[in-house]
Chain A
Amino acid sequence: MQFFLNITLGGIASGMIVAAVALGLVLIFRATNIVNFAQGAMAMITTYLAYAILHQGVDYWVALICALAIGLLFGGVVQFVLIRPIQNKSPLNAIILTFGFLIFLEGIAGAIWGSTTRTYPAPFSESGQKLGHTQIAFSPFDVYILLSVLVLMGIMLVLFRATNLGLRMRAVAFAPEAARLLGVRVQPLLTLGWALAAAAGVLAALLVVPTSSLTPNFMDVILVYGFTAAVVGGLDSPVGALVGGLITGLSLAWVGGYLGGSLEPMAALALVIVSLMVRPEGIFARPAARRV
């Protein structure tokens, strides 16, 4: 029972991280119908930069803010330089491009920093707490993960629901042509969407990296889990990203805890397959008709 409780708590924490990755994927997908496979790699590069900043002797929080800023900038630049030219071409082009960019960034990271593992510090203790007489595996760092992802979600919610900018972004995502006709400048908003998505990815990476370790491909599996979560929740629903993230995190934690950690990626595959068989559009997605 205690084992079950512990892995469940771990699953909730990792589920929140997965939710942040999924949120990044969803933000881009609902605006441009592109799944950004390079999101994990972009976050990985940013994490290396944050690591370098951290080693200049600055505080964790300063490095975090710098990393988020770099992430915003990076996402915007990528959309501006790479995605705009292929936006109206076949979806295959976008997939191949972001996939190529993923491996390009991993190669760059490998060439600069090598494949030696580095440890990135956590701002809070990672060891479990005593609750009464029982030791539970929920550390202050897990609380920090939970809160920071919730804060991210809250900021996004306020941005999209309560501001004029968010309204315009939703309009662009919902009906780009109509939005353009109504005087919304579409491209800058798409750039902003990519920037926000990249920042969400960076936050997820900075939350993952203390418990895994910093290598050029540490985000590969996290990206796949994020994709799983996004598919489970519905690729165009931010709420679905959160719920999908929790479902994914919990199922993977249970599979990892009871069957073996190496089975987690295949469990993610099974989850994608099952959710696509049962509910192809995801739990929270708006129903969409495919146009002829």
Chain B
Amino acid sequence: MDAVKRPVQALTAKSWFRLPRQPMLRHGLFALLAGVGFYFLTNWFSAFNDYELGEIAFFAIALAGLTLLTGITGQISLGNGGFMAVGAFTLALLYTHTKWNLVPELFVVVIVSVIAGGIIGIPATRLRGPYLAGMTLTVALGLPYLTNQYESIFGGDQGLNTPPPTGPSNINPEQWLAWIQILGALIVLVLLGNLLRSRFGRSFRAVRDDEIAASLAGINVPRTKVIAFMVSAGCAGLAGAFLALSAGITNSAEFPLALSIYLLAGVVLGGTGSLMGVWWGAIIVVYLPNEWATDLASDFHANSLVSANLAIIIFGLVLVVMMLVAPSGIQGGIRWLAAKTAAYFSSDTVTNMTLPLQEATEAGINPPVNGGSVTSTEKQGV
């Protein structure tokens, strides 16, 4: 028992700065600070950098949704690119057929995506691992075909217009869009952070660690999984709508299988199960294909074929290598470094940073068998 209690005491006693205990307040404070930081960043950045910042923001939303589903609830989804397409096309159809404001449109986008997530999620509750992966892969591959089938509705190859919203005339459009997207990302992350601190968050983790034990503890496992699916799809849909706004046009070519892979790679790189990690993942998912890969290709005087494909080669390689070498991602590495540093400065705070698996072992509890080495370094909340 002592081993389980100690980290909490160490954390509260040793901190020189105490954060609010209330999750809502604490997450809100983080978001406010991040928002102020982003505000200055967008003023300092050029229009193109603002555009990329907005992309980082919506990828952070999509990655947060997938993190909740895969890292925290333990349900794999290769199909969140498909849910992004659902969100984008919902927005495009609303823009084409209604005269609504952006905010109610985004609400409808989220609702439609959540419903789509429920439709896929309900059969998915009966599935495990590979079945679920295969089914969601079919979603990611199949949904874009639908838009080709019903060209009159979805505009076929041309797609539908989704122009970015126009703000005040003294603010350039990229900056205005980036603000909207960042605001959306911060709101989503605060809400998800709170969700993970709630009863639902604990149910998600319990389902991931051991479904049978979770159901014995009174958790409705299928319902928990469906909720995770719906929240994840809602995030993906909102991110897809933001992607549509950034692109200005929505067609099925924007949602290839590679997009789902980017999402998975972003989650794995950020560290599955860590909501802060989604920012690392989002930065890499945006900058690697657009800048780093093309720079690398031109450094090596590679031909256009190589430079066009370098990003997906790197992402594929990253997924393979991360699974072989470091399944806990960048945020896991940072935690590991932080733990090492803390251990170096003070021997008292060591337990503070131990991993749940080690805590459990110290406390004499058997570590979960299928808890998953992917997810074992996850700590509480944000």
- Tell me the A residues contacting B by CB distance below 8 Å: 29, 33-35, 37, 82, 85-86, 89-97, 99-108, 110-114, 217, 220-221, 224, 227-228, 231, 235, 260, 262-266, 268-269, 272-273, 276-277, 280, 290, 292
In whole angstroms, how far apart are the Cα atoms of A85 and B320 in the complex?
11
Which of A103, A113, A114 lies in contact with B315, CB distance below 8 A?
A: A103
In whole angstroms, how far apart are the Cα atoms of A263 and B372 in the complex?
36
Interface residues as binary, B293-318 with A (CB distance below 8 Å gives 1, 0 otherwise): 00000000000011011111101111
A82-B324, A93-B323, A111-B313 known; A263+B146 contact, CB < 8 A: yes
B60 CB-CB contact with A under 8 Å: no
CB distance B130 to A220 under 8 Å?
Answer: no
A90-B373, A100-B319 known; A272+B138 contact, CB < 8 A: yes
Give, as a whole number of angstroms, the nearest-CB distance from A35 to chain B.
Answer: 4
In whole angstroms, how far apart are the Cα atoms of A266 and B320 in the complex?
29
Select the residue from A29, A35, A85 with max chain B CB neighbours within 10 A.
A35
With A96-B319, A111-B305 given, name 8 new contacts (CB 8 A). Answer: A86-B323, A90-B371, A90-B373, A91-B129, A100-B265, A103-B261, A224-B142, A272-B134
In whole angstroms, how far apart are the Cα atoms of A218 and B92 in the complex?
29
Interface of B (DSSP majority class): helix
CB distance B130 to A91 under 8 Å?
Answer: yes
Chain B residues with Cβ under 8 A from A37's Cβ?
Answer: 78, 133-134, 137
CB distance A262 to B130 under 8 Å?
Answer: no
A89-B373, A110-B308, A263-B145 known; A99+B264 contact, CB < 8 A: yes
CB distance A100 to B135 under 8 Å?
Answer: no
B70 CB-CB contact with A under 8 Å: yes
Interface of A (DSSP majority class): helix
A-B contact count (CB 8 A): 173
CB distance B323 to A100 under 8 Å?
Answer: yes
CB distance B130 to A95 under 8 Å?
Answer: yes
Select the residue from A95, A263, A266, A290 with max chain B CB neighbours within 10 A.
A95
B141 CB-CB contact with A under 8 Å: yes
In whole angstroms, how far apart are the Cα atoms of A235 and B132 in the complex?
13
A92-B372, A104-B317 known; A99+B129 contact, CB < 8 A: no
Give, as a whole number of angstroms, the nearest-CB distance from B81 to chain A.
Answer: 12
CB distance B374 to A96 under 8 Å?
Answer: yes
In whole angstroms, how far apart are the Cα atoms of A86 and B324 in the complex?
7
A92-B76, A231-B131, A268-B142 known; A111+B126 contact, CB < 8 A: no
Per CB-CB distance, the 6 closest pairs between chain A and chain B, nearest first, are A100-B319, A104-B316, A265-B142, A90-B372, A107-B313, A35-B130
In whole angstroms, how far apart are the Cα atoms of A217 and B258 in the complex?
11
A96-B76, A260-B149, A277-B123 known; A227+B138 contact, CB < 8 A: yes
Chain A residues with Cβ under 8 A from B309's Cβ?
Answer: 107-108, 110-111
B8 CB-CB contact with A under 8 Å: no
Chain B residues with Cβ under 8 A from A217's Cβ?
Answer: 257
Interface residues as binary, B135-178 with A (CB distance below 8 Å gives 1, 0 otherwise): 10111011101101100000000000000000000000000000
**Nearest opposing residue in chain A for B261, CB measure:** A103
Contact size range, B? 35 or more
CB distance B268 to A96 under 8 Å?
Answer: yes
Chain B residues with Cβ under 8 A from A114's Cβ?
Answer: 305
CB distance A235 to B130 under 8 Å?
Answer: yes
In whole angstroms, how far apart are the Cα atoms of A269 and B126 in the complex?
15
B337 CB-CB contact with A under 8 Å: no
B220 CB-CB contact with A under 8 Å: no
Which of A35, A90, A262 lies in contact with B370, CB distance below 8 A?
A: A90
Which of B212, B261, B375 lies in contact with A100, CB distance below 8 A?
A: B261
Chain A residues with Cβ under 8 A from B138's Cβ?
Answer: 224, 227-228, 265, 268-269, 272
CB distance B141 to A95 under 8 Å?
Answer: no
In whole angstroms, how far apart are the Cα atoms of A269 and B145 in the complex?
12
Select the residue from B130, B131, B308, B317 with max chain A CB neighbours within 10 A.
B130
CB distance B149 to A263 under 8 Å?
Answer: yes
Which of A86, A89, A104, A273 lies in contact with B313, CB distance below 8 A?
A: A104
Chain A residues with Cβ under 8 A from B310's Cβ?
Answer: 107, 111
CB distance A29 to B126 under 8 Å?
Answer: no
Give, as a whole number of angstroms, the nearest-CB distance from B364 to chain A.
Answer: 20
**Nearest opposing residue in chain B for A86, CB measure:** B323
CB distance A100 to B133 under 8 Å?
Answer: no
Which of B126, B142, B320 lies in contact with A104, CB distance below 8 A?
A: B320
